[in-house]
Amino acid sequence: MKAIGIALACGLLLISAGSSAQDTTSSGKSKSADRTVTGCLAKGDSAREFVLNGKDGSTWNLKSDQVALAEHVGHTVTVKGVVSNVAMHNMKEEAKDAAAGAGVKKENSEHGDMQVASLKMVSGSCK
């Protein structure tokens, strides 16, 4: 198990050194701080937190001072916003890519936190 951890750490260093100028991770996930994601909006753990289950398999914890997210719970929406702690987020996603590439982790969908700046309703339901 210790060898796997060391191998993953070395892989992460190689990946991050080789991809520092790239706009996507090795699995094609965007590294941009600004994101646009479409999916189903659900209520989160607290009154001001929401979860967007992206059509691409990603999951985003959403917060916003500008957009009334509560009005769109249960709707399919497209949100635009900024990824929280983008540098750490990208390192985490690269580590997940490396683990998936090594066969250590099967599920490799993106998960992060986003501050939403705008929302467009796509559908009144999540079907």
- pLDDT for 13-61, tens place per residue? 444 444 444 565 554 556 677 889 999 999 998 888 999 999 988 899 9
Say if CB 113 and CB 64 are below 8 A apart.
Answer: no
pLDDT value at position 108?
A: 57
pLDDT value at position 75?
A: 97
Lowest mean pLDDT among 5-14, 63-72, 75-84: 5-14
Q: Does residue 99 register a pLDDT over 80?
A: no
pLDDT value at position 118?
A: 96
Say if CB 41 and CB 93 are below 8 A apart.
Answer: no
The overall longest dimension of the chain from CA atoms, in Å, is: 49
The verdict on pTM exceeding 0.85 is: no
Q: Going by C-beta distance under 8 Å and a sequence separation of 6 or more, which residues neighbour residue 91?
A: 12, 16
Which residues form the domain of 9? 2-123
Q: Domain containing 56 — which CATH number?
A: 2.40.50.140
Cα separation, 70 vs 72, in Å, equals 5
Q: What is each CA distance from 81 to 3, 12, 119, in whole angstroms?
A: 38, 27, 9
* Mean pLDDT score across all residues of the chain: 78
Give the count of domains, the chain: 1
Higher pLDDT, 86 or 79: 79
Cα separation, 51 vs 81, in Å, equals 14
